[in-house]
Amino acid sequence: MANDIRYDGRVAIVTGAGGGLGKAYALYFSSRGASVVVNDLGVSHTGDGQSSSAADVVVEEIRKAGGKAVANYNSVTDGDKIVETAMKAFGRVDIVINNAGILRDKSFARMTDQDWDLIQAVHVKGSYAVTKAAFPIMREQKYGRIIMTASAAGLYGNFGQANYSAAKLALASFSSSIAREGAKYNIHSNTIAPMAASRMTETVMPPDILASLKPEFVTPVVGYLCHEGTEESGSVFEAGGGYVAKLRWERSEGAVFKADESFDPSAVAAKWGEITDFSKVEYPSSITDTDFLGLLERAKAAPPNPKGEPLRFDGQVAIVTGAGGGLGRAYALMLGKLGASVVVNDLGGSASGQGSDQRAADVVVDEIRKAGGKAVANYDSVEDGEKVVETALKAFGRIDILVNNAGILRDKSFIRMSDQDWDLVHRVHLRGTYKVIKAAWPHFTKQKYGRIINTASAVGLYGNFGQTNYSAAKLGIVGLTKTLALEGGRKNILCNVIAPNAGTRMTATIMPPEMVEAFKPEYVAPLIGYLGHSSNEENGSIFEVGSGWIAKVRWQRTGGVGFPPNRPLHPEQVAAAWDRITNFEDGRATHPETTQDSLQSFMENFGNLAEEEEAPTKALRDDGTVDIEAAKKIPFESVTFNYGEREAILYALGVGCKRQDLKFVYENDVDFSVLPTFGVIPSFEIMGSLPFGDVLPNFNPMMLLHGEQYLELKKPIPTSGTLTSDARIVEITDKGKGASVVVGVSTKDESGEVVFENEFTLFIRGSGGFGGPKKGADRGAATAANTPPNRKPDVVVTEKTSEDLAALYRLSGDYNPLHIDPNMSAVGGFDVPILHGLCSFGISAKHVLKTFCDSDPALFKNIKARFAKHVFPGETLEVQMWKEGNKVIFQTRVVERDEICISAAAVELNSASDRDSKL
């Protein structure tokens, strides 16, 4: 397909571009003419550590392909430095892909403030900072394309991701507001919720799903949205696995109530079915799409409100934040009147967050008490949520209802907005909401009861000019609400969010006085009363309310387009299908409410396979037998491995090398070399892509064991470079109760020369009995028995391993949780996580190398070993060695348990002349 969509002369910044989606974006834009700033701080998926190599490797890959790229290693919170890199290198910025992200997944009960703050800093403040630095440049050149990265967790909520959900949905509204402010300058902004394999998603998704969610299925969608010919702006899309769809808000027609004193929570309960009925709907896209004055006229002319059983709160305790005036005051007075004991929280600051005054809360408390109610004042900032909750506990001994209402405004155009304007609004609205709920949560959990009502805004739902900070914070609260509803629901902790329209200290700054007077907070309070009552069963929902009108809001998603997941996807295909991707009117639209609902369309598209030109012979026949020759012909994708001195040193440390082993741990040593067994590392990644289920009957990945390893070096391993590995099935044997599969991997350097060959012998329990050969072929050193001679070992070397060795070795690429997570090791029957077999393999080979090769890798020809028993980190390994001609037979014993962990093992040596010819 011709590359009609190109970016010649354009400059793209991609954050978090050291791997996963970010790397795919960077490679995509560079392949189509853009100059790329590859930003990556080089941290782990949880935000720990730092390394420049991640960005450097991607830059090098782009340059080798003939593209232009520079690296940047700054945190996204230093967005000005990232943009400065682009300006210094290329003189402009046309495209910003806000992709950088981390995860700190924990249940809300276990989440710390650090977990919350770090996620907000990287995702929300980071996206703000980079966009803020780029926006004036784009405005000046009258061109820009911006992408924010949300997620299904943000759109629908997800258990254990309250921090992440809030951050991700905040970015959707930030993007919508940026789109409004950038429109006249040809600056477009859209939000993508990708479903793709990455460092982050690999921790929360099964491997089989990850294999179908290649980042390359997301990049063409982002590529299309960033092209100069694309008009789309202010929109939200889900994309992944070949499936692309657009989302928008859908709102019920709702119910109008008579605007008088009979409009109370019981009236809301009586009309709840009408409020939540989506048989008649609207699709607002702006805060001006709702005629509140018209609704108020209808409310005044409406018939009397239905009367139901009064909804009271006797014996219950309610906290209302920001209750010194406006909406909060109306809530507090209503709850007090209906029997609740009320904590009236108000810092007494101005609408912009300045100053403090206790009188605001005191006046409301006095009003409640004079009316015969119970109330106490609290003057703390909502960021001190624990103090707010403590006031309730000291005064009334419990808490049942929490209404998060406190807020401020710092409205300015994005170009004029300061970091302080951004930070203060987010601290009060989003972090303040989190902090008060966090303090109340354990009490709700203990009593198995709680009602939480959070406050968003129509500005959050639809975006608005001059309110990027406020809109982002408000929609972030919706994301938080969605997740808390999931986590709290089974404990009878219900959480909902309202987007009110009423006259308050804040709206008084942006509405004419007559409108402020007309939009009484009392016309919002009854919904709060219903949602806060024990009879309410609504959970995780969004409501717009004001002027005597209440309606429910939900997502609507187009039927979208599914492209074949077994074919590459190009932006030109996306462009051709755009009308169908964005079509809400063709009868295929859905209303996903959970991440599971969202994933369903992606899963269904996995079966949307394009026809193969020539169907290969099936290795696994329908009768359960195996066509071994067909299995040997199965093609595997090549795997590329980029590495440098750092990776070589990290591996050496991972197999127990000490600081004295300068040859292997110090890059400036005159003889700096790579340990021969490093050769297993570039090949290991390919193991995860082998389709055992297409080859063996009854395959279960949990029944797979690594039985033996063979490695043969054709030349010394370079200290840095790019290696390409190609796999093949060498042999399959039927062991009765299981199957043995030998996978051969040939690894070549940039010149195409083979550097080393591996054979992984894997035993799969439960997959035998398919009628294959019982015994494998003799392949020389790869299958040698290596029986130790009947004499004492010629040399014995012991090494006590570190208790932290598995944690270190895994950084070389084997992230199997069995070796780090106690819960996973317990499932495997081990008291503590076990050491990687290939780590014990590397330790043993290291001692053979030192003893018989004087640590010269050129003398090391090949190694074969069988993994006989497990090793616990911290145990002592004893390597027993026998020299037999050019072969060193060895076995390794765990001293503490007197068990052989490596057997049938040997290293074949090169002669000095062989070494010289290879060198």
Residue bearing tokens 């996306």 = 574
N-to-C CA span, the chain? 45
- Rounded CA-CA distance 398/316 in Å is 8
- Of the residues 25, 164, 530, 651, only one is catalytic, namely 164
Angle at 360 between CA 355 and CA 363, to 5 degrees: 160
- DSSP class of residue 832 equals S
Give, in order, the Cα–Cα distances in Å from 325 to each of 356, 368, 840. 14, 13, 68
Computed over its alpha carbons, how large is the radius of gyration of the chain?
A: 32
Q: How is residue 35 written in tokens? A: 């100059």
> Which of 505, 313, 311, 480 is CA-nearest to residue 407?
505
DSSP assignment string, 231-294? ---S-EEEEETTEEEEEEEEEE--EE--SSTT-SHHHHHHTHHHHT--SSEE---SGGGS-HHH
- Rounded CA-CA distance 252/268 in Å is 15
Tell me the three state secondary structure of residue 69. Answer: strand
- Rounded CA-CA distance 504/521 in Å is 8
- Rounded CA-CA distance 41/54 in Å is 8
CA 686 to chain centre: 23
- Of the residues 470, 643, 651, 710, only one is catalytic, namely 470
What is the residue type of 169?
Answer: L
Active-site residue flag, 168: yes
Residue bearing tokens 């859905």 = 590
Q: Is residue 214 within 8 Å of 243, Cβ to Cβ?
A: no
Residue bearing tokens 């780090």 = 820
Give, in order, the Cα–Cα distances in Å from 502 to each of 217, 499, 519, 621. 44, 10, 5, 68
* Cβ neighbours of 780 (radius 10 Å): 11
Q: How is residue 432 written in tokens? A: 């303040």
Residue bearing tokens 């295929």 = 588
- Rounded CA-CA distance 168/586 in Å is 29
Angle at 594 between CA 591 and CA 600, to 5 degrees: 75
Active-site residue flag, 470: yes
- Of the residues 168, 214, 474, 663, only one is catalytic, namely 168
Give, in order, the Cα–Cα distances in Å from 809 to each of 379, 685, 760, 902. 52, 15, 19, 18
- Rounded CA-CA distance 363/554 in Å is 38
Q: Is residue 438 within 8 Å of 102, Cβ to Cβ?
A: no
Count, in order, helices (H) and strands (E) of the chain: 32, 29
* Cβ neighbours of 420 (radius 10 Å): 10
Q: How is residue 169 written in tokens? A: 């949905």
Could you give the residue numbers annotated as active site? 164, 168, 470
